[in-house]
Every structure is written in structure tokens, then in C-alpha cells.
Chains A and B, each alone.
Chain A
Amino acid sequence: MTAKQLKIKVKGTLRDLLAFKNLAKKRMQRFRKAPATRYSSLHVNDLAARLHPASQNLVIKEVRDETKSSRTFTLAADREAGTGEIAYFQAGQYLSIRETVEGCAITRPYSIASSPADALNGFYEITIRKTDKGFFTGHVWEHWKVGRKVVASAPMGQMFYSPLRDSRRIVAVAGGSGITPFRAMAREICAGGIDASLRLIYGCSDEGDIMFIDEFREMAKAHPDRFSFVLVMSCDEVTLEGCEKGFITGDIIARHSDPGSDSYFLCGPDLMYDFVTRELVSLGVPLRRLRREAYGEIKNPSRFTGYPSGAEGKTYSIVVHGRGKTETITARGDESVLVALERARYAPPSACRSGECQFCRTLLLKGDVWVGPESDGRREADRRNGYIHPCASFPVSDLELELPTAGTREG
């Protein structure tokens, strides 16, 4: 049928044409009749800003020695600095602390060790283990006292329970300070906030340095159906009763859980992470029943196959195009591009320092980097267009890059 043969009328030719002619007039009439006010509500944006504030100004309310090498800090909203409330979160998430240490603006992620219910009561707890010669933790031990102001990201991270994905029997495998997110989960589960049970397999290397041990015993006693734990002690002499000895292996995991149906959550130091992942896979645990915390900062890239040998001992130059100026800095082969930028007194954005959150996303204009196998969280199009995540990228040649502006996200 050609256009000529087709003849559609809706209300009659004249009325239809008049309706066409009057479209603009009618629209204008509607406009004129409406009130001249600004929008009355922005509740969706407000909710977004409460859930994901661009940053949180916090203040230390309490400092408690947890073990001989770890401290728990209670953080509350710093109203003076303009933060009215702390953001709610999901047990297992972390905060990325932003602080200037020896003139360098850096970030460090710490799992929230308190429960979401605690956040509704106005506080977070983070528990930090002092690392040997730790750049940031050393500073914390020296400066983090009651009353000190601390700036943190919104809660972030993907290691939390999903009722749609996970088994209602969660098995947490933790090593060292990797225990912190599971303390949050245990508290939340015991308080009934998550309808699941938690079995904790907790590897420690020193009997005097077991975090939250008294609390775990109490919770296990009070809520035997929801929470239980087993310690796996790797020290030579073990005096505690009922522990497993050695490192966490597939055998130990299989003895204390059901690899055929449980969901496993894993958080611990990199070597444990690699080892336990392999053990779980060989126990037949599919990836859908395995949640793993962000890998963490790679400390020793040369231990990975695929890392070009010798690069770790070299220094490279990085041409940095910042806003309006260009400078050349030096970078060590064994440190990430992010650390090189921080050492050079830039303040590039970052949060997870594990390649996962993409906060540090940066355009690499020239040169090559090596990226950790568990830490390449880039989008495919980013990868193809020269974008890198500096926190998980190590220089293997001289580089040239464009410094990102801190992503100011608002609600």
C-alpha cells in the first residue's frame, strides 16, 4: 500500500489537523497552569547520598588493644566536620581510610569489624594489626588516639552474604587480620540480621595474638545453631584445646564443613588466599559457592609467574600529566604505580588497592605495566583503550600517564 492509499483518521480529518496545529498552544497552556516552584523532593538522591557518601568524616571514640599486635578503633560521625550520620553497610564490607602519612596522601582499606546494627547505633569498629615496619600502621600506632579525626570512604566491597546466591550455611575461612569481616558477620548473624549460620575456620600463628577469641567463644555458646568456630594454629607449640594444627588445608576444611553444599567466604593474606582457593577448587567447590575478599596490595610481584624477571630491582621514570603541568617521577619496579604516585606527593584517588573497585582508573599513554593475575578488575573496553588500575599495575618500562581527578561522587 502506498502512502496515498493509506488514509487514517482518528477523530475526523479536520479535528485531527486542528489537534496537530494546536499541539504547541496546548502544551504552552499546560505549562502556564503549572506552579512556578522548584522540585519538592530529592529523596532518591538523598537516599543514595546516605548509602554512598563521597567521604565520611569520622572521629575516634575509643581505642582498645585487641591482642598484642592489634588494636580496635571505635569510629563515630564527626558532626563538627559535617558528617551527620555514618553510612549503613552490609557485613563483610570495608572502609578505605584516607590519610596523609609523612606528607603522602594514601588510602588503606579496613574491613568493618562491627555489625550493621552497630552502625545504626552510631559507630563502626575497625581492628588493625600492626605490620612489621608498616608505613601506615606504624603511623596509626603513633597518632590514632581518642579524639583524632579520620576520613573514610563509604562502605564498599563485594564480600557479603546474598540470600539469592549463597547457601544458608556459610563457612568463613580466615587468616590473620582477615578475621575482621567475619566478626561483623558473626555479630549480625547472632543478632538475627542475616538468616544463615556461620562456621568459622580461623588460622592463627600465635596463641597470644588471636583476635576476638573471647567474643567468639561467647557467641558460640549463646547461639550454637548459628555460630561455631575452629582454630587452626600454625605455631609449633599449641596449648589451646580443640584446635587443628598446621595451616588451613583442604582436609581441615572438609572435616569442618560440607564442600558439597556450603558457601565459602575467604579472607586472609595473599599466600593463604592462593593456597586455600586451590584447596577449595580441588574439593569441588564451584566458584558460585566461593566468595573472596579483594586480593590486597601485591607486595612482591616477582613471586608471580609471568612477571618479567629482573624488573623488580629496576627503577623507571613516569611522565605524569597533571592538571596543567607535566612532571617526571621515578618508580620502583617492586611497587605499584599507585605507590609511586603517592610517594611523589600526588594524591591520586584509590580505595581497595586490589584492582577491584576501579577508583584509581588511569589513562596510560605510553609504556607497559604488569598486572597481578587476581587483581585485573578492569572493564574490557578500558583494557583495550589503555586504561590501567595503578594500584594493581607495576611498571615494566618507563611510563607516561594522565593523572585522574579524584572522582567526586555525589548522591
Chain B
Amino acid sequence: MDNRWNREYDAVVVGAGNGGMTASTQLALLGKRVLLLEQHNIIGGFSTSFVRGRFEFEASLHELCDVGSSEDPGGVGELFKELGVEVEWMSVPEAYRLIVPEKNLNVVMPFGVSEYIDAMERYVPGSRPAVTKFMDLADEVMRALQYLAESKGNPDRKVLMGEYGNFMRTTAYSLDQVCDAVGVPKAARDILYAYWCYLGVPTSRLNFTIFAAMINRYLIKGAYIPRYRSTEMALAFERRFRELGGTIECGTRVEKILVEKGSVTGIVTASGERIKTGHVLCNASLPRVYGEMVHPESEVPEMALRSMNARSVAGSGFVVFLGLDASPDELGLKDYSYFIYHDTDTDALYDGLYRLGRPTVQAAVCLNRAVPDCSPPGTTIMSITCLYKPEAWKDVEPKDYFKLKNELAGYFIDDFEAATGCSIRGHIEEIDIAAPPTYARYTGAYQGVIYGYEVDSWDSLMPRMMMMKDDIYIKGLRFASGWGFRCIGYSSALQCGRTEALLTSLDMDQEKGGAAS
């Protein structure tokens, strides 16, 4: 190693959020020398928690998709097993309660495909055939994606056409378009679409494939959360990564990713340390990587910039955390997960994300319904989440910030009370409010965005998978996060990190092969 460098690693992972944690653990498992750098003083990124008084609040996770039970794990459950990361999972009792006060809609939907279809039939008589068809189609989508993953990017066209024709014919379309084709009645769609806000794109644009895969996994595998908030998951990764010989440094911000002639050569930390590596996996936001970190600027290919400008970033979060001094039973909080919408038209709801007025959307969670002892006896932990587009926060000044947060939080609490009939206000012992600047502050996320790019049909899972090679604009620079090819969401980020690590390892093998020949 020449003296320009302080240290050298096979790979450096920039940021220890969901994607960074799986990427680093997978690489360490393959015996690579990995350095995991995190700017905050704890790993996890959005997978974290914080303490206020007698309560410990989950910062972001509502429910993790595709974990499954220990006997019947899903893809994410397998990932944890294969990486050797142990988490105590608690199951979420039901899929969701959806309330749309303006439409007198108030339904509870269970997990399990047939249970879900039965419930739908009860709420929307006559919906069974179409909803069954939709679920069969979603099942084919999921199997097709599994086949694509197994074929490692080289699927047999004949198998695709023969076995997964419906998947192929629907993957270029939006959720609305496919529901039209399947003939799902409007009243059933109103209920079916509830999960849209987890993806944050209106159903007129939201890609069908990604939605279908999500609902399929939720209904078949249920949903889980770690017993001790997502910090438990983060620290389980940390323990495993250390055990595998990985080096982890918190409180270390990467300032530059050094590139020479189109290839990564190393990184520079905020304190000026120069670390040599040919492989950087970024959990840090894609726009900030190309916008600020790649050095020199001239090494950022035009297409990388164009690719960013062609897409639009999904939402940032707004969360009201409540520690309540009464039990869920006393408060009348029956369910774990509540979606409360002021319309069934997701375009109208989505437009509301651009305004800092009365909100149109909320997703509330009563944590005790999955983890009964998450707070002391006789208390409850609740959180109410909404998305905002970064644009909405454009003119907010520090002097308005705290008042604004309280005002918005007040709307969310009022809405929740009005929709559920539960009385919350008189029981607030602790309250904290996270807004887009909060997410920006703790993770450095571009514009506080918690998701990544919107999953329109033209830029969803399939086109991103088809273009995985094209999307590498700098050799040795990959993205392990919700900004990556798996698109947005906790499970996606976890899986994305792992896949990118496996691909990095293949890159390394090829380099070695190339050098030997």
C-alpha cells in the first residue's frame, strides 16, 4: 500500500442503515475485509429508537414484510437466518384497520389470503371472484420474482413465458390499470389499496408488481417487529458483523468517495483519514453520493445525473410519538395498525403530501398490540405517521418550526380521535414529533427522504433489475438501500444490501481472475 493511504479494506460500506448492515454482514460472511462507517453514534439508520421518560419509541418501523414465522420463514426471515443474525420477532396481530370517515368506511383486514378474501366479501359482497383473481395474480408475481432471483439475472425466456405470462403482461402497468383488467370492484379497491401509503405513490402510477409482491408477502407471511424496537435488529447485525471480523466505526462521516478514471480508489472521512478500497457500497442517499461525495466532481458521469433528474424522490416522514398513561384497553385501542384516509382517491391523498395543512393520510400504530410489554403496565406507546414531500417544507424557517410541528401533530391526533372514537389527548405523558429535518439530521438523508425514488411503473423493480448493469456508473460503486434496485421499504433495503454485497463479491472474483490471466 502506498503512503497516500492510512488503511486498506476489500470494501467500505458507507452508512449502517438497513442496506448497509446487510451488505457489510454478507461481505464479512464471505470472508472479505470490510469497514462499516456510520456518521451517527449508533448503527441502524432509520432502524433505531429513542427514550423519552418511561417510554422507548420505535423511530420508523411499522411492520417488517416477509419475515415469516421460524417454521415458515419468508425471504427476509431466510436472510436473517443465512446471515446468522438473531432477532426476537413479535408478530403483528392483523393486517390493518382502514378508516375513511368521509366514506363511512371502517374495516379490519386479517392476514391470510383466504381470510382476507372472506373479509373482503363480507364488506363488499360479490367481490370474491375478482379479489381471488387478484390474489392469484399476486401469487404468480411473487413466484416469478423468486424465479428471477434464483436465475441470477439469466432467466429462461421459455420458462418466463410459460409459467409467468401474467406477471410479464402486467409488470409494465400501474395498480389501477391491473385492477381494471382484473375487474376489481371500486369498493374492494378502496380497501385493497390501503397499503399504498407504505410505497407513497398514488395507485394511478404505483407499479402493480411491487404492490402485488408486498401484499402477497404480508398476507401469506404476516408481519413482524423486533421485540426491543428496530435497535435490537441493528445491534444484532452489529454483533454478528463484529463476530465475523468486520470493523465498525460510528461517529465517522465519509466525506469523499475517490474515483480515478471511472473506478473507485478509496474514501476520505470527515476527519481526513484516507482509506483505500476498490469497492464502496453506499447506504447514503444516492443524490448526495453523486451530488457531493464522488470526488473529483468530473468523475460523476452525466448519465448518473440524468438518471436522478428523471426520477422523483418519494416522501419524507412526519411522526407523532405518544407515550400515553393508560393501557390500550382503557384507551379503546383495539388494533395494531390503523390507516386513516380522508379520501379513497389516492391521487387526492397524494396531493395532500405537498401541503402543510390538515393532513389527508395517516398510518397509526399501537405498539403494545404486538409487544404487550413495550411500555410499563398501564401505559401505551402509539405513533402516528404521515409522509410529506420535501417541497412542502421549502419555506419553513427555524422560528416557525416547533409551532408548525405542534400544529400538524394536533391535526393528526384530532383525526385519529375522530376516526376511532378513542380519547388520546388527556393521556399524553410524553410526546415527540419527528419531521423531515429530523430524518435529515440523524441520517443525513437527502431532503430527509425516508424512501428513495418513487416506484412508477417505468422505474419499478423490473426495469431496475433489467438495468442493474447499466445503473453502475462508476466501477466499484454500488447502492445498498431503498435507493437501490429493490426499491423502497425496509425489507427491500435489507435485501438490496445483501444482493449488492454478493454482486460486489463477484466483481472481486472477476478482478482477481482478470489479474491472474
Are B307 and A31 in contact (CB-based, < 8 A)? yes
Residue A299 at the chain B interface, CB threshold 8 Å = no
Could you tell me the dominant secondary structure of chain A's interface residues?
Answer: loop
Q: Which of B457-497 contact A (CB under 8 A)?
A: 458-459, 462-463, 466-467, 470
B24 within 8 A of A: no
Q: Which residue from A19, A23, A41, A44 sits with its C-beta under 8 Å from B448?
A: A44
Interface string of A280-322 (1 = CB under 8 A from B): 0000001110000000000000000000000000000000000
Besides the known contacts A164-B431, A288-B429, A358-B41, 10 further A-B residue pairs in the complex with CB atoms under 8 A apart = A8-B170, A27-B458, A32-B303, A42-B446, A43-B390, A48-B441, A165-B428, A165-B431, A358-B51, A382-B231
Residues of B within 8 A of A377 (CB): 51
Q: B124 contacts the other chain (Cβ, under 8 Å)?
A: no
For A6, give its contact among B166, B249, B307, B438 (CB under 8 Å). Answer: B166
Query: Can you offer 18 A-B residue contacts whose CB atoms are under 8 A?
Result: A3-B166, A7-B165, A8-B170, A16-B169, A22-B172, A23-B172, A30-B459, A33-B306, A39-B446, A45-B437, A47-B401, A162-B431, A288-B429, A358-B51, A381-B229, A385-B239, A407-B39, A410-B444
Say which size band chain B's interface belongs to.
Answer: 35 or more
Known: A27-B467, A379-B231, A385-B235. A88 touches B249 (CB 8 A): no
Contact status A36-B306, CB under 8 Å: yes
Expressed in whole angstroms, the minimum distance between the Cβ of B463 and any Cβ of chain A is 4
Interface size on A, residues (CB 8 A): 73
A64 within 8 A of B: no
- CB-CB < 8 A to B354: which residues of A? none
Given A26-B458, A27-B467, A381-B228, do A9 and B310 touch, yes or no (CB 8 Å)? no
Q: Which A-B residue pairs are the 3 nearest by beta carbons? A: A405-B251, A407-B41, A19-B172
In the bound complex, do residue A17 and residue B316 qualify as a contact, i.e. CB atoms below 8 Å apart? no
B122 interface hit (Cβ, 8 Å): no
Output the nearest chain A residue to B160 by Cβ-Cβ distance. A20
Does residue A271 face the partner (Cβ distance < 8 Å to B)?
Answer: no
Question: B437, A20: Cβ atoms under 8 Å?
Answer: no
Give every chain A residue within 8 A of B232 (Cβ-Cβ): 380-381, 384
A31 to chain B, nearest CB (A): 5
Q: Does B406 contact A (CB under 8 A)?
A: yes
Q: Mark B156-194, 1 if CB is under 8 A from A, else 0.
A: 000000011110111111000110111000000000000
Which residues of A, 40-59, contact B by the 8 Å Cβ criterion? 41-45, 47-52
Contact indicator B253/A23 (Cβ below 8 Å): no
Nearest CB of A to B10, in Å = 19
- Give A410 to B229 CA distance when docked, in angstroms: 25
Contact B136 A16 (CB under 8 A): no
- A287 is contacted by which of B53, B173, B303 (Cβ under 8 Å)? B53
Which residues in window 49-81 of A have CB below 8 A to B?
49-52
User: Residues of B contacting A31 with CB < 8 Å?
Assistant: 303, 306-307, 310
Contact present for A47 and B393 (CB under 8 Å): yes
Q: Mark A93-113, 1 if CB is under 8 A from B, else 0.
A: 000000000000000000000
A23 adjacent to B309 (CB under 8 Å)? no
Decide yes or no whether B410 CB sits under 8 A from chain A: yes
* Contact for A8 among B178, B401, B430, B448, CB less than 8 A: B178
B396 near A381: Cβ-Cβ < 8 Å: no
Q: Which residues of B contact A353 (CB under 8 A)?
A: none
The interface bits of chain A over 376-406 (1 if a CB of B lies within 8 angstroms of the residue's CB, else 0) are 0111111011000000000000000000111
Q: Does A90 contact B (CB under 8 A)?
A: yes
Given contacts A10-B178, A408-B253, contact A45 B239 (CB under 8 A): no
Give the residues in chain A near B429, CB-CB below 8 Å.
Answer: 165, 286-288
Separation of A41 and B448 alpha carbons in the complex (Å) = 12
Determine whether A87 belongs to the interface, using a CB cutoff of 8 Å to chain B.
yes
Flag whether B508 is at the interface (Cβ < 8 A).
Answer: no
Contacts of A164 in B (CB 8 A): 406, 409-410, 413, 425, 428, 431
Q: Which residue of B lies closest to A162 (CB)?
A: B431
Greatest chain B CB density within 10 A among A33, A34, A36, A44 is at: A44
Residues of A within 8 A of B235 (CB): 381-382, 384-385
Is the CB–CB distance between A361 and B447 below 8 Å? Answer: no
In whole angstroms, what is the CA distance A384 to B169 when docked? 50
How far apart are the CA atoms of A34 and B309 in the complex, in Å?
A: 6
Known: A10-B177, A88-B398, A409-B40. A48 touches B409 (CB 8 A): no
Instruction: Report chain B residues within 8 Å CB of A378.
Output: 51
B195 is an interface residue with CB less than 8 A from chain A = no
